[in-house]
Amino acid sequence: MYPENILLFIAVILLVAFLYSSVGHAGASGYIAAMALFGMAPATIKPIALILNIIVACLGVWQFRRAGHFSWRLFWPFAVLSIPFAFLGGALNLPTHAFRIAVGIVLLSSALRFFIKPATEDAVQPPSLPTAIGVGAGLGLLSGLTGTGGGVFLTPLMLLRGWSRTRVASGVSALFILVNSIAGLLGNLSATHQIPAFAAPLAVAAIVGGWLGAYLGSNRFSVLVIQRLLAFVMVLAGFKLIWT
C-alpha cells in the first residue's frame, strides 16, 4: 500500500470510529468494508476489526455510562448467552452469501423505518427475561459470524420494540459490543493463533475517533440526531453485508 493510501486508510478508520461510537457502536462493519476496499488480506480483516471494536467499545461504555445512559438490568439478560455464542461464531467460518444478503436487507429495512418515523421515547417497556436471553444468544452468534459486536442489530431492535430510550440503548449496546467482541476475538484467535501487526496504527486512529464520537453522542447530540446517525450506520452495515 502506498504511503498516501495508508494515510487515507487511517483517516477512514478514524471517521468510521467517530460515526459509529456516536451511537454507542464500535464500527466493525465499517472497518471490515474499509479493509476490504483497501485490499487487506481476508485472514487479517476479522481479527483487526474485532480489536478496533474492543477499543472503541471501551470508550463508548466509559462515556455513555459516565453520562448516566446505561442500565445493568437491561444489559445482562442480553449478554448472558451472547458471550459463549459470540465465541462460537468467531471460531466458525463466515456465513453464506445468501445469509449475509438477508441480514443486510433487514438492516436496510430497519434503517428506512428510522428515516421515515424515528422511535419515540415514550412507553418504554423492557423485554421479558426469556425474550432478552434468547435474543442475546441469537445476536451473539450473529456477531461472531459476521465479525461485528452485534450492536448494529441490538440497538435498532431495542428502539423499534420500545424496550429502551435511545441513549440508554446506545450505552447498553456499547457494553454488549465489548463483551461479544472480546469473545469473538478469542474464538478467532483459537482458530488462527495470530494477531496482525498492522492493527497498531489503526488502533490509534480508532481511539481518537472513538473518544470524540462517544463524547458527542453521550453528551451533546440530540436524540433525533443519534437516531439519524444510527440509521446511516445501519445503511452502511447493510450494504457492506450485501456486497461483500
Higher-pLDDT residue of 81 and 4 is: 81
* 193: its cell numbers: 493463533
71 alpha carbon, distance to own chain's centre? 18
The reported pLDDT for the residue numbered 93 is: 64
* 121-177 pLDDT per residue, tens: 777 899 999 999 999 999 988 877 776 778 888 999 999 899 999 999 999 999 999
Let me know how long the chain is. 244
**Cα–Cα distance measured from residue 50 to residue 76, given in angstroms and rounded to the nearest whole number:** 21
Q: What percent of the chain has pLDDT over 90?
A: 43
Residue 184 near residue 88, CB atoms below 8 Å:
no
Higher-pLDDT residue of 111 and 118 is: 111
* 190: its cell numbers: 483459537
Rounded to a whole number of angstroms, the distance between the first and last alpha carbons of the chain is: 21
Mean pLDDT of the chain: 86
Q: Helix 3-21 crosses helix 199-219 at what angle (to 10 degrees)?
A: 30
**Cα–Cα distance measured from residue 88 to residue 186, given in angstroms and rounded to the nearest whole number:** 10
The reported pLDDT for the residue numbered 211 is: 97
Q: What is the DSSP letter of 126?
A: P
Closest among 37, 32, 27 to 1, alpha carbons compared: 37
* 226: its cell numbers: 443519534
Closest among 87, 78, 215 to 155, alpha carbons compared: 78
Model confidence, pTM:
0.87
Q: What is the DSSP letter of 38?
A: T
How do the domains of the chain map onto residue ranges? 3-243
* 162-208 pLDDT per residue, tens: 999 999 999 999 999 998 888 888 877 877 767 777 788 899 999 99
The reported pLDDT for the residue numbered 96 is: 63
**Cα–Cα distance measured from residue 199 to residue 189, given in angstroms and rounded to the nearest whole number:** 14
Q: Residue 3's pLDDT band (boundaries 50, 70, 90)? A: low
* 21-30 pLDDT per residue, tens: 999 999 888 8
Q: Residue 237's pLDDT band (boundaries 50, 70, 90)? A: confident
Higher-pLDDT residue of 92 and 209 is: 209
Q: Give the side-chain half-sphere CA count within 13 A for 82.
A: 29
Q: Residue 218's pLDDT band (boundaries 50, 70, 90)? A: very high
**Cα–Cα distance measured from residue 49 to residue 51, given in angstroms and rounded to the nearest whole number:** 6
7 alpha carbon, distance to own chain's centre? 24
